[in-house]
Amino acid sequence: MSNGIYVFAEQRSGKLQSVGYELLGEANALAKDLGQPVVAVLLGNGIAAQAESLIPYGADEVVVVDDPILEEYTTEPYAKALAAVIKERQPEIVLFGATSIGRDLAPRLSARIRTGLTADCTGLAIDPDTKLLMMTRPAFGGNLMAVIRCKNHRPQMATVRPGVMQPMEPEEERQGKVTIFPVAFTSADQTVELLEVIPKKRGSADITQASCLVSGGRGVGSKENFQQLYTLAELLGGEVSGSRAAVDAGWLEKDRQVGQTGKTVRPQLYLACGISGAIQHVAGMENSTCVIAINKNETAPIFGVADLGIVGDLHAILPRLETAIRRAKEEGVHYAAPSTQDFVGLENVLFEKQNGIAYLTINRPRQLNALNEKTLAEIGAVADQLAQDESIKVLIVRGAGGRAFVAGADISQMQTMNEEEGRRISLLAQEVFTKVKELPQIVIAAINGYTLGGGNELAMACDIRIASNRSRFGQPEVNLGLIPGFTGTQRLSRLVGSGAAKKMIFTTDQLSAQEALRIGLVDEVVPPEALMRTTRDLAMKIMSKSMKAVKAAKRSINQGLPLTFKDGLLVENDCWTECFREDADGHEGMTAFVEKRPARFNQ
């Protein structure tokens, strides 16, 4: 029987590579669905001492093959060692980074052990029915995403692009073991003579680790013009990257390329200069925290993923930006977005407003965004402001860190509470989540990772829920001698039906994203890399309609839910009638329809 999810922990010259930590984090999420251990496989010479460092990042066991022939990577010895481990251990899944080593080793190993391999994956999930690994990768030049399953051969193998997955926060108390696995090598195993290892040039960029990227495309115009981007990147403490078009033109080194055929990046700031925004490029940078795009073409696709778009000539804009940054640094000025200044005391949530969309981010990634009293109060404060802000049409709620939307309430705070304190925090959460539910804006939850307990209750307070296929949902309170007390018993039963709600609460079983979709707990499931793009696209689509009508429809649905059908119709009739008022959009919408022209709604 196949057992375990194995991760090839890549090292170069004795240094463990970050992609191994990323894959261990993803393997842990998959392991929870399969109930199987996570095993790291570490190959090298004199490398055993580093094995224990993988345990805090999610390895239940580290299998080490330590031999002088493995000092530096060459294909045949590494393939032999890994094949020996797999043939004896019979793992269910084996994961590699889609690095130069992984892309060479994985197909060679696949041929040796006669199993399939899905290359360059951007998403992994377990099918809840078949328990097969669902491997998502770009296809047809990136114009669609294919989901591939390996039904008949084991192990199921995939290479995963670096930077796509998130590593776990290290758990120093985590227990695991190290196993030395002997492999008998002979001189015949080394068919290539390694003459010299040439280290990477000093100063070579690792754009996957940069917190700021100034990225250029065809619109930069020439290799000489890229010097302007290097200057700006140095001022910002970042690196320069670029699109495939810039690399193909010889303006930039290959290791600075972003996109499906380059690298996947997650900087805090991504400044896209003269980049059109082809889907192949966007797939490599769409998870950046803030994207600023400069392009002469106002219809460029890059503006669809940008948080701030500037239409104009980058050669005129960048010098002005450089001057402003230099002046600010000389004056010691630190810029903070105006939208954050209304909440000087915010610590556990981030709040920003851009082009009619507000973003509320639960920002406690080390605690998997668990809700404590302060976090609840801050969510409530944001909701109070939004209730009075007519400039915001859509609110997107999300969790920081990539591992959890919100993993529940902060148990460490609640464990010493008495009855009075327990009642108080329940009433606070109910009040805050009701404020979110009753906001005039359309509220969309962008869910990626664990959504448990109070996190699921927060998600249910949103109008629409979009989840990545790696998300997990549950109400685990009865495991702790509690019940869902943040609106969960009432809202869950109304959303999915009393039977499904009772089963979920009584058993504490976690649901996969696909199962949550099936019962109606979420409204759409997408690969992780498509989550924010899909959410923003939905927000923009809603905002293109009559927002007065959309808000009236939301009010009619929400107010009618607790009523009898007959009383609900009275609410509907009132909201319908409002659409015919002079300051409403009904007359303009109907007139535009008759005149066969686009409606000009007063947004």
Q: Dump pLDDT digits (tens) for 254-271.
A: 889 998 777 888 888 899
pLDDT at residue 337, as a whole number: 41
Q: Rounded to an integer, what distance in angstroms lies between the CA atom of residue 295 and that of residue 311?
A: 5
Q: Rounded to an integer, what distance in angstroms lies between the CA atom of residue 478 and that of residue 109?
A: 46
- 431 C-beta neighbours (distance < 10 Å), count: 13
Average pLDDT along the chain = 87
pLDDT at residue 201, as a whole number: 59
Burial 326-335 (b: 16+ CB within 10 A, else e): eeeeeeeeee
pLDDT at residue 142, as a whole number: 54
Q: Which of 102, 402, 454, 474 is catalytic?
A: 454
pLDDT tier at 202, thresholds 50, 70, 90: very low
Judged against a pLDDT cut of 70, whether residue 199 lies above it is answered with: no
Judged against a pLDDT cut of 70, whether residue 336 lies above it is answered with: no
- DSSP category for residue 252: S
Judged against a pLDDT cut of 60, whether residue 332 lies above it is answered with: no
Q: Which residue has the tokens 């010691």?
A: 332
Model pTM?
Answer: 0.57
- 255 C-beta neighbours (distance < 10 Å), count: 15
Q: Are 466 and 535 in contact (CB under 8 A)?
A: yes
Q: Rounded to an integer, what distance in angstroms lies between the CA atom of residue 520 and that of residue 382?
A: 28
Q: Rounded to an integer, what distance in angstroms lies between the CA atom of residue 333 and that of residue 453?
A: 42
Q: Say which residues have a Cβ less than 8 Å from residue 83's Cβ, sequence separation at least 6.
A: 109, 112, 113
Mean pLDDT of 380-397: 92
Q: Are 439 and 395 in contact (CB under 8 A)?
A: yes
pLDDT at residue 343, as a whole number: 46
pLDDT at residue 91, as a whole number: 93
Torsion, CA 264, CA 270, CA 273, CA 275, rounded to 10: 40
Closest by CA position to 325, among listed 257, 255, 271, 281: 271
Mean pLDDT of 246-257: 90
If residue 588 lies in a helix (H) or strand (E), which one and from where to where? helix 586-594
Least trusted range by pLDDT, from 110-114, 159-163, 495-499, 566-570: 159-163
Residue 568 burial (C-beta neighbours within 10 Å; 0-12, 13-18, 19+)? middle
Q: Which of 26, 378, 477, 515 is catalytic?
A: 477
Q: Higher confidence at residue 491 or residue 266?
A: 491
> What domains are defined for the chain?
5-182 (3.40.50.620), 209-331 (3.40.50.1220), 339-542 (3.90.226.10), 547-594 (1.10.12)
pLDDT tier at 339, thresholds 50, 70, 90: very low
Q: pLDDT per residue over 558-575, tens digit each? A: 898 889 999 999 999 999
pLDDT tier at 279, thresholds 50, 70, 90: confident
Q: Which of 22, 457, 515, 529 is catalytic?
A: 457
* Strand-pair category, 524-526 with 464-468: parallel
Concerning whether 409 is annotated as a catalytic residue, the answer is yes
Mean pLDDT of 304-318: 88
pLDDT at residue 414, as a whole number: 83
Residue 100 burial (C-beta neighbours within 10 Å; 0-12, 13-18, 19+)? exposed
Question: Phi, psi at residue 35, to the nearest 5°?
Answer: 65, 35
N- to C-terminal Cα separation, the chain: 60
Mean pLDDT of 60-77: 89
pLDDT at residue 144, as a whole number: 63
State the Cα angle at 120 between 363 and 256, rounded to 5°: 75
Q: Say which residues have a Cβ less than 8 Å from residue 370's Cβ, sequence separation at least 6.
A: 364, 406, 407, 408, 409, 410, 411, 454
Judged against a pLDDT cut of 50, whether residue 452 lies above it is answered with: yes
Judged against a pLDDT cut of 70, whether residue 2 lies above it is answered with: no
Q: Rounded to an integer, what distance in angstroms lies between the CA atom of residue 59 and that of residue 71?
A: 23
Concerning whether 477 is annotated as a catalytic residue, the answer is yes
Question: Phi, psi at residue 380, to the nearest 5°?
Answer: -65, -40
- 73 C-beta neighbours (distance < 10 Å), count: 19
At 368, the amino acid letter reads L
CA dist 159 → 43, 85, 145, 432 (Å): 17, 18, 16, 43
pLDDT at residue 204, as a whole number: 57
Q: Which of 210, 233, 409, 446 is catalytic?
A: 409
E strands present in 421-460: 442-447, 450-452
Closest by CA position to 371, among listed 383, 362, 358, 384: 362
Q: pLDDT per residue over 88-123, tens digit each? A: 999 999 999 988 899 999 999 999 899 989 988 878
Would you say the C-alpha torsion 395, 399, 404, 410 has a positive or negative sign? negative
pLDDT at residue 121, as a whole number: 86
Judged against a pLDDT cut of 60, whether residue 344 lies above it is answered with: no
Concerning whether 457 is annotated as a catalytic residue, the answer is yes
Using a pLDDT cut of 90, give the percent of the chain over it: 42
Using a pLDDT cut of 70, give the percent of the chain over it: 94
